[in-house]
Amino acid sequence: MIVITGATGNTGKPATEALLAKGEKVRVIGRDASKLQPFVQKGAEAFVGTVEDAAFLRKAFQGATAAYLLIPPDLQTNDLRGYQERVVADYAAAIAEATVPYVVTLSSVGADLTEKSGPILGLHNLEVKLNAIKGLNVLHLRPAGFMENLFMSVQPLRTMGMLPGPLPADEPHAMIAGRDIGAYAAERLHARDFSGSSVQELHGQRDVTMKEVAAVVGNAIGKPKLGYMQVPFLMLEPAMVQTGLPKSTVALMIEMWKSMNSGALKFHEPRNAKNTTPTPIETFIAEVFAPAYSSMAAKA
């Protein structure tokens, strides 16, 4: 039995589907029973509950051969770091009590840092807590920033007529599609070919500049002259708060982006066949972003 947390999300869903296709017994965890039902129809077992419920997690991991752990995003909480630490502690206790032998985590590039990494510090602490569990074989996936993060730019893209963001326009950086992370996690959970504590970086298909990304987005949504603007943090912070995000959460995200721009938050492996994933930005924009953008525009 393989337990998948965040089973309906950008990485959990493709991981679940891949494992079911391989004939694995899968237990999916989520807060909404209706969203888990498609997996149940394919043979999965559903556990409905929240990762903030320690008793629920202890039950969910019983009898598991392996588990995929991620901290479900909760950007609306006024104490994001406190939320992360509670989930990390509950995961570690439940995994240890159930003596799950194999775990793959969704960590992040920058999880090696012990400060100034914003919300990634919670993932650093997840790695540390799990590494301390005696006898656990744990593989920490450290991917690049998600292509799905582009959805944060939809509203300002409409109002400003350009793609805004915190990163420099001409500096190449790695981006990855969530489905590629899920597919990779499924492969390793199925093979269970890792031992002790290990890390695997995932660099995405190639490095791209935000200027390139804006051009791809523009061509896909019928705005071929779409440009990109790096927004100064003094402007970006209040703009993000105005969208409804708590000020404390925004401050953590700004801290993370500052570390990215300074070069402190970075990969440590050169790009190679093992850490390169298949989905290019063009495919993601065409298949995921553009249809969602059109749907949002129709509802606006």
Residue 49: CATH number of its domain: 3.40.50.720
**Tens of pLDDT along 92-136?**
999 999 999 999 999 999 999 999 999 999 999 999 999 999 999
**Is 40 domain-assigned?**
yes
Higher-scoring residue by pLDDT: 285, 154: 285
Q: Per-residue pLDDT averaged across 272-276, rounded?
A: 97
Helix axes 178-191, 12-21, angle to 10 degrees: 40
Q: What is the mean pLDDT of the chain?
A: 94
Residues 6+ positions from 2 with CB-CB distance below 8 Å:
19, 24, 25, 26, 27, 64, 65, 66, 67, 68, 189
pLDDT of residue 154: 83
Residue-wise pLDDT tens digits, 207-239: 999 999 999 999 999 999 999 999 999 998 998
DSSP E strands: which ranges in 5-64? 26-30, 45-48
Of 152, 119, 123, nearest in space to 253 by CA: 119
- CB half-sphere exposure, 9, CA atoms < 13 A: 22
Q: Check if the beta carbon of residue 69 is closer than 8 Å to that of residue 61.
A: no
pLDDT digits (tens, 9 = 90+) for 167-205: 999 999 999 999 999 999 999 999 999 999 999 999 999
What type of residue is 233? F
> What is the structure's pLDDT at 161?
85
257 in a structural domain: no
What pLDDT band is residue 298 in, cutting at 50, 70 and 90?
low
User: Is residue 142's pLDDT more than 80?
Assistant: yes
**Percent of the chain whose pLDDT exceeds 90:** 87
What strands lie across the sheet with 102-106, from one edge to the other?
Answer: 45-48, 26-30, 2-4, 66-69, 102-106, 137-143, 197-202
The pLDDT of residue 156 is 82
Q: Tell me, what's the pLDDT at 297?
A: 62
Residue 182 maps to a domain = yes
Determine, yes or no, domain membership for 262. no
Give a yes or no: residue 141 inside a domain.
yes
Which pTM value belongs to this model? 0.95
* Count of CA atoms in the C-beta half-sphere (13 A) of 95: 32
229 Rama sector, left if φ>0, alpha if ψ -120 to 50, beta otherwise: beta
Domain assignment of residue 102, yes or no? yes
Query: What is the pLDDT, as a whole number, of residue 138?
Result: 98
pLDDT digits (tens, 9 = 90+) for 18-75: 999 999 999 999 999 999 999 999 999 999 999 999 999 999 999 999 999 999 988 8
Residues spanned by the domain of 129: 2-146+176-202
Whether residue 300 is predicted with pLDDT greater than 60 in this model: the reply is: no
Q: Is residue 86 part of a domain?
A: yes
CB-CB contact of 73 with 110 (8 Å)? no
- Number of compact structural domains in the chain: 1
Neighbours of 212 (CB within 10 A): 17
Q: Which residue has the higher pLDDT, 249 or 243?
A: 249
In a domain, residue 84? The reply is yes
pLDDT tier for residue 295 given thresholds of 50, 70 and 90: confident
